[in-house]
């Protein structure tokens, strides 16, 4: 039986991907240096004989002796709080890590999928964002370490596809939420949920009019799995096209938790995108995919997880 490799497999998204692949009867090798991932995310998989974990930094040479079918490159800090704290590691895993993962896939004659991001669009001048849009990114701003790491990783992936004939896939992931997000993740939903559940003030940056489109994690993973199995090598947006403001999201979470938290406003971070909404026409057409879990249900499931983590 051939094996799948998931780099960053102990992270929020990577752990859910490992779980899905095992459910589809794949053998999975999860590689993670645990810089932002956690063994807690995958410890329930250790009893599965088709699952192996390797504690390793993929910016170094990657070796797995198995016959490899698919390589999913998910290794990277992904939240602003992480990549602002780990700027060089973020750039290294997007460049050196992607290079090592691509070289490994090439040596194994495996199909390769890079987890890119809606952040390649920067603060977009086109709305909603289509895959053909080249983006509006500040390369020397604080968010540039993540944005440019992902843009470079896409370029390197296409170079391996065009020059070496490697089978490659590129997914552009839009805002995703669900179980196994860290309480101190720094992104909106973990921050709002943890603050509301503790009865603290809920912090909204700016006036809260900036928008995001949030996708529940099981929907995202389903789209990624379908993309890997498809014949399409150009970027595909995977996310929920239902757009809402951050102020609206904060109010929804306060209502969901039954909290009496007040909303307080803080200064908007530098280069924070004003809008974010995927055009998922390609995913619908090529993958027959669209999100199925509505926001109310997704937030309810996520709240249950956060309550358990907070001991509530």
Domain shared by 118 and 36, yes or no: yes
Domain shared by 81 and 60, yes or no: yes
Instruction: Give the side-chain half-sphere CA count within 13 A for 169.
Output: 28
Instruction: Give the chain's domain count.
Output: 2
pLDDT 10s digits, 119-171: 999 999 999 999 999 999 999 999 999 999 999 999 999 999 999 999 999 99
Query: Domain containing 250: what range?
Result: 178-212+242-276+293-309
> CATH number of the domain that 301 lies in?
3.90.25.10
What residues contact residue 153 under an 8 Å CB cut-off, 6+ apart? 73, 94, 95, 98, 114, 116
Question: Is the Cα dihedral 256, 298, 189, 303 positive or negative?
Answer: positive
146 is known as an active-site residue: yes
Domain shared by 165 and 46, yes or no: yes
Domain shared by 19 and 141, yes or no: yes
Domain shared by 132 and 29, yes or no: yes
| Pair of tokens at residue 111 | 């199909």
Residue 39 pLDDT > 80: yes
Catalytic residue among 72, 83, 146, 216: 146
Domain shared by 12 and 105, yes or no: yes
Q: pLDDT confidence of 38, banded at 50, 70, 90?
A: very high
For 126, counting Cβ atoms within 10 Å of its Cβ (0-12 exposed, 13-18 middle, 19+ buried), the class is middle
Distance CA(250)–CA(237), nearest Å, equals 25
User: Quick one: what percent of the chain has pLDDT higher than 90?
Assistant: 95
Distance CA(177)–CA(144), nearest Å, equals 23
> CATH number of the domain that 227 lies in?
3.40.50.720
pLDDT-wise least confident of 38-42, 118-122, 270-274: 270-274
Domain shared by 50 and 97, yes or no: yes
Mean pLDDT, rounded, for 288-309: 97
284 domain-assigned: no
Residue 1 pLDDT > 80: no
Could you tell me how many helices (H) and strands (E) the chain has, helices first?
10, 13
**The pLDDT value given to residue 269:** 86
Angle of helix 188-198 versus helix 246-257 axis, rounded to 10: 40
| Pair of tokens at residue 169 | 């896939």
Domain shared by 227 and 253, yes or no: no
286 domain-assigned: no
Q: Which helix H or strand E contains 263, and what residues bound it?
A: strand 263-266
Mean pLDDT, rounded, for 21-45: 97
Domain shared by 42 and 83, yes or no: yes
pLDDT 10s digits, 91-107: 999 999 999 999 999 99
- Residue 210's closest CA among 183, 239, 250? 250
Domain shared by 182 and 106, yes or no: no
Domain shared by 227 and 134, yes or no: yes
Residue 10, classed as helix, strand or coil, is coil
């Amino acid at each position: 039986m051939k094996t799948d490799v998931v780099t960053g497999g102990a992270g929020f998204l990577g752990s859910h991907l490992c779980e899905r692949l095992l459910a589809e009867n794949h053998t999975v090798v999860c590689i993670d240096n645990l810089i932002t991932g956690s063994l807690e995310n995958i410890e329930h998989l250790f009893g599965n004989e088709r699952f192996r974990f390797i504690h390793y930094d993929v910016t170094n040479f990657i070796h797995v002796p198995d016959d490899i079918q698919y390589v999913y490159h998910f290794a990277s800090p992904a939240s602003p709080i992480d990549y602002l704290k780990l700027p060089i590691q973020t750039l290294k895993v997007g460049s050196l890590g992607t290079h090592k993962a691509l070289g490994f896939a090439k040596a194994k004659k495996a199909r390769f999928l890079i987890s890119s991001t809606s952040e390649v669009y920067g603060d977009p001048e086109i709305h909603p964002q289509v895959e053909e849009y080249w983006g509006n990114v500040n390369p020397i701003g604080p968010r540039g370490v993540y944005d440019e790491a992902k843009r470079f990783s896409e370029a390197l992936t296409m170079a391996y596809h065009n020059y070496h004939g490697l089978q490659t896939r590129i997914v552009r992931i839009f805002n995703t939420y669900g179980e196994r997000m860290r309480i101190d993740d720094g992104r909106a939903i973990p921050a709002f949920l943890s603050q509301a559940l503790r009865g603290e003030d809920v912090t909204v940056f700016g006036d809260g009019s900036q928008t995001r489109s949030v996708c529940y994690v099981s929907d995202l993973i389903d789209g990624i799995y379908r993309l890997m199995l498809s014949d399409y090598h150009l970027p595909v947006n995977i996310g929920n096209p239902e757009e809402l403001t951050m102020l609206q999201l904060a109010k929804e979470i306060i209502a969901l938790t039954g909290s009496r938290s007040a909303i307080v406003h803080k200064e908007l971070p530098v280069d924070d995108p004003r809008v974010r909404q995927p055009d998922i026409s390609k995913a619908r057409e090529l993958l027959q995919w669209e999100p199925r879990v509505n926001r109310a249900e997704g937030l309810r499931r996520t709240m249950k997880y956060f309550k358990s983590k907070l001991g509530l």
